[in-house]
Amino acid sequence: MNCEDHISHYLKRESIDRLPFLVKIHLLWCGKCRREIPALRKNLAAYRGIFPYAMKRDMSDSIMRSVCKMLPYKRGAVSESKWIISGCILLGSIFLMPFNNSMQWVRDSFGEFFDIPLTIVMGMAISLYITLFAASHLKNFGLRSKIDRILAKEAQ
């Protein structure tokens, strides 16, 4: 391998900070490369953190003005995963109820008439869950901005 091959070998590598072993060996007896490669390495490293075009204007204020017009984030106390898990448990328990021993016990004790109030209670539970979920995720349904617009109009 001649000097050009060694330099190409170094330039082909992703990291410019480390010299390949073969190149290091080559540097031991090649004075020309001993001057060129470290200088090249420093020049390439000098590009990090410098940018070719300078910003004359600070954009922070104009961006913050636009951002402050938007609604601030309000992260709910209940995480998304908890919502999903509790929803699955609720739905699963409703669907599995007819196959459960306790349901059979309820039927034996109170007769078939108990099915209707139980269904109403379950329906209310799932409605309550959906209502709470929707209320806390208005932004996802695109309703929050509409509601805010209506409230703003009313305030005017």
Partner 1 sequence: MDEQRNDEQIVRQILYGDTEAFRVIVGRYQKQIFNMGFRFFRNENDAYDFVQEVFIKAFQKLGSFRGLSPFRFWLLKIAYNTGINSVKAYKSTSPIDDVAIPSAEKSPEEKHLNEELRKLLLDAVNTLPERYRICVDFYFFYGLSYNEISSMTGFPVNTIKSNVFRAKKELRDLLSGTIAEDYYEL
- 8 part of the interface to partner 1, by CB under 8 A: yes
Q: How far is CA 92 from CA 9, 18, 69, 88, in A?
A: 61, 58, 42, 6
Assigned token pair, 6 = 């060694």
- 79 part of the interface to partner 1, by CB under 8 A: no
Query: Which residues does 30 contact at the CB level (< 8 Å), separation at least 6?
Result: 3, 6
Provide the minimum distance between the beta carbon of 70 and partner 1 in the complex, in angstroms, as a whole number.
7
Q: What angle do CA 35, 38, 43 make, to 5 degrees?
A: 115
Tokens 């059979």 locate to 104
Specify the residue, 67 or 116, whose C-beta has the smaller distance to partner 1: 67
Q: Which of 46, 116, 121, 152 binds partner 1 (CB under 8 A)?
A: 46
Specify the residue, 18 or 96, whose C-beta has the smaller distance to partner 1: 18
Assigned token pair, 35 = 């001057």
Q: Which of 21, 28, 31, 66 binds partner 1 (CB under 8 A)?
A: 66
| Interacting residues with partner 1 (CB under 8 A) | 7-8, 11-12, 14, 35, 38-40, 42-44, 46-60, 62-64, 66-68, 70, 72-75, 139
